[in-house]
Amino acid sequence: MSLTSDDEDLDHILLAGVQSPGVVTLSGHDRSWKWDKKIGDGQSGGSLELKGSELTTFTATFSLVNDPSSDVDEVAAWDGFSRLIRSSVEAKSPTGLDIYHPDLARNQIRSVVEGKIGGMTHDGMGGRQVVVTFEEYSPPKKKSGSPSGSKAASHGGASGGAAGVDGGQFGPPTPDPNQAAKDKLAALVEEANAP
């Protein structure tokens, strides 16, 4: 089955361009960020420095069927697919394999290596399951820095600012660099609306 934006196939992953056999269920494919928190002694609040995106570890559970009456043997297809997964770690140096599933793409998981392939389990009715742990492969890219204040601080609220941010325990509000332009625009709108 082909994957299109209108009819995305959620039952399979594409790994190095090869569609997985059976039906896959993904879990743990969350995206998280690493922050360095710095809090001074005897102080309230602190600073954050972004260290980058955490590498994701997630599982893919493959449900396979072997049904000779309908000429379906996903278990045999699994043997070849598991060799593809293992190829990511069996070379001289680990090699990331491109991966695609709509839910992985939403969290920008694009390349993986094998973390662990579990043993095949049987359900007693001809079905089998294999759980694979994938490790995200993502070469390092520089991405760090400290956040520059919340959006609430520059927009204010009903009380004129977020508690503890503008005029609260952290000092006076941060000046709006666009305030002069906003004032001029307000004056022009008022002039245009005058009778």
Q: Residue written as tokens 């045999």?
A: 76
Share of the chain above pLDDT 70, in %: 75
Pairing of strands 111-117, 33-38: unpaired
- Per-residue confidence (pLDDT) for residue 147, from 0 to 100: 57
Domain boundaries in the chain? Answer: 14-33+51-136, 151-193
pLDDT score of 163 more than 60:
no
Gap between the Cα atoms of 88 and 108, Å rounded: 19
Q: Residue written as tokens 């927009």?
A: 155
3-state secondary structure of 1: coil
pLDDT score of 116 more than 70:
yes
pTM for the whole structure: 0.61
pLDDT score of 8 more than 70:
no
Cα torsion angle, 184, 185, 188, 194, sign:
negative
pLDDT score of 183 more than 50:
yes
Strand-pair partners of 18: 15
Looking at per-residue pLDDT, the higher value among 151 and 170 belongs to: 151
Gap between the Cα atoms of 139 and 157, Å rounded: 41
3-state secondary structure of 79: helix
Are 135 and 89 spatial neighbours (Cβ–Cβ below 8 Å)?
A: no
Average pLDDT, rounded, for the chain: 77
Residue 85's CB: how many other CB atoms inside 10 A? 24
Tens digit of each residue's pLDDT (9 = 90 or more) over 34-91:
777 888 777 777 777 777 677 889 999 999 998 777 778 898 899 999 999 999 988 8
pLDDT score of 29 more than 70:
yes
Q: How confident is the model at residue 21 (pLDDT cuts 50, 70, 90)?
A: very high
Q: How confident is the model at residue 2 (pLDDT cuts 50, 70, 90)?
A: very low
